[in-house]
Amino acid sequence: MDIDSGKKQSVHALEATNFFLADVQTGLGPFLAAYLAGAGWEPGRVGMALTLAGIITVVLQAPAGAIVDQLRSKRLILVLASAVLALGAVLLSITAAPWAVYTSQALIGGAGPFLGPTLAAVTMGIVGVTFFDRQFGKNQSFNSAGNVACALLIAGVSHLFGNRAIFITAAVLTVPTVLAVRAIKSSDIDYDLARGGAKQVDGKEVPARASVMKTLVGDRTLLFFLACAFLFHFANAAMLPQLGEMLSHGARATAAPFMSACIIVTQVVIMCFAPAIGRFANLHGRKPLLMLGFGVLPIRAVLYTLTHNTESLIAIQLLDGVANAIFGVVSILVVADRTRATGRFNLVQGSLATAVGLGAALSTTFGGKLIQHFSYRISFLSLGAIAALAFLLLWTAIPETLPERHKPDSDPSSPAITQELPA
């Protein structure tokens, strides 16, 4: 079987949207850390600035998911969120003064929660359950290809025009994003499918909806997975920004090119492997991939403490690519598994993003304080210990969630799954 040929234009436009949509919050986070360190900000203040966007994101993630579930105009959400991100990037290009930095972080933190759930909802609404695994993996590949292109562009722009031009570049990239969004046909997005609310009755898909409390609180596996996601990002989020800060103190002129190289390595790995991850997860399950993704994170933290050689540090980013490729694809597939036929797909996506955002926000502050009072080495090792705890929780508490491998009657906490995902 293949995706309906009449929807091919919308699928290609969706892939283009993923390519052009620069994730300002995470893509510019490392650049912002290096930029502020070069402007004389102390590590603790840098951490607080990055944390502000994270706090706002945490507060808005679940409500944003609920809004995405309810609103029919998914394209409008993407356009408005992109415009707000562009405004935040422009502010950063004007000055590194606290008022501009904190205002931009508030804008970025407010817009970011709507992007991920909406893109996943549009994907589900266009291709349906059968092809979601495969298409979502492709989406991540296109997104990573766009981030590679953006990082290369930023490296050139910063070399020619200085670090402030980085943020102008990010703002300009929202123009092709909006054009790509508008090329998606609204009629191709099924509203009920887009919120995970369709189930099979007599061979036909009909709307379905479960209560918020039953979906979130009544599913033990989902609650444990949210805890794993929190710990994963608590350990992961601060590592690359800290690396940028550490190197910017010794060679400010090379900080932005180094960060570009690190981001490119990570995104190339995601770009190459994300489609295969989606296919593997559909055929062989989610947990083996998650174990691999979580397992490389403590190794990466330790390796950062063993060398300051630029080439070696860039090579270590291969592990970052593996971890982020797996988590970025498989975490959403787990959410789709646990919310099948509930009508709460995007709400739970928002809850996952809340756990991710809370972990990331606390990570930057935690890491910054450890650097301030101890050293970069102690900070990396502490983050690695948290990563090891996340791995142990995943190993012991999370079962396989792929419907064919893990039927609802074998797990009393599982939500009703009335439509299985074909291999």
At residue 228, the pLDDT reads 94
Three-state SS string over the chain comes to CCCCHHHHHHHHHHHHHHHHCCCHHHHCHHHHHHHHHHCCCCHHHHHHHHHHHHHHHHHHHHHHHHHHHHCCCHHHHHHHHHHHHHHHHHHHHHCCCHHHHHHHHHHHHHHHHHHHHHHHHHHHHHHHHHHHHHHHHHHHHHHHHHHHHHHHHHHHHHHHHCCCHHHHHHHHCHHHHHHHHHCCCHHHCCHHHHCCCEEEECCEEEECCCCHHHHHCCCHHHHHHHHHHHHHHHHHCCHHHHHHHHHHHHCHHHHHHHHHHHHHHHHHHHHHHHHHHHHHHHHHCCHHHHHHHHHHHHHHHHHHCCCCCHHHHHHHHHHHHHHHHHHHHHHHHHHHHHCCCCCCHHHHHHHHHHHHHHHHHHHHHHHHHHHHHCCHHHHHHHHHHHHHHHHHHHHHHCCCCCCCCCCHHHCCCCCCCCCCCCC
> Is CATH 1.20.1250.20 correct for 7-197?
yes
At residue 417, the pLDDT reads 37
What is the per-residue pLDDT across 212-245, written as a single tens digit (0 to 9) for each? 555 566 678 888 999 999 999 999 988 887 877 7
At residue 22, the pLDDT reads 58
At residue 391, the pLDDT reads 95
Domain 7-197 matches domain 214-399 at the CATH topology level: yes
Residues of the chain with pLDDT under 70: 1-5, 22-30, 197-218, 247-256, 341, 404-423
CATH of 214-399, picked from 2.60.40.1510, 3.30.930.10, 1.10.150.20, 1.20.1250.20, is 1.20.1250.20
At residue 14, the pLDDT reads 92
At residue 220, the pLDDT reads 83
pTM over 0.75: no
At residue 247, the pLDDT reads 67
Per domain, the residue ranges of the chain are 7-197, 214-399
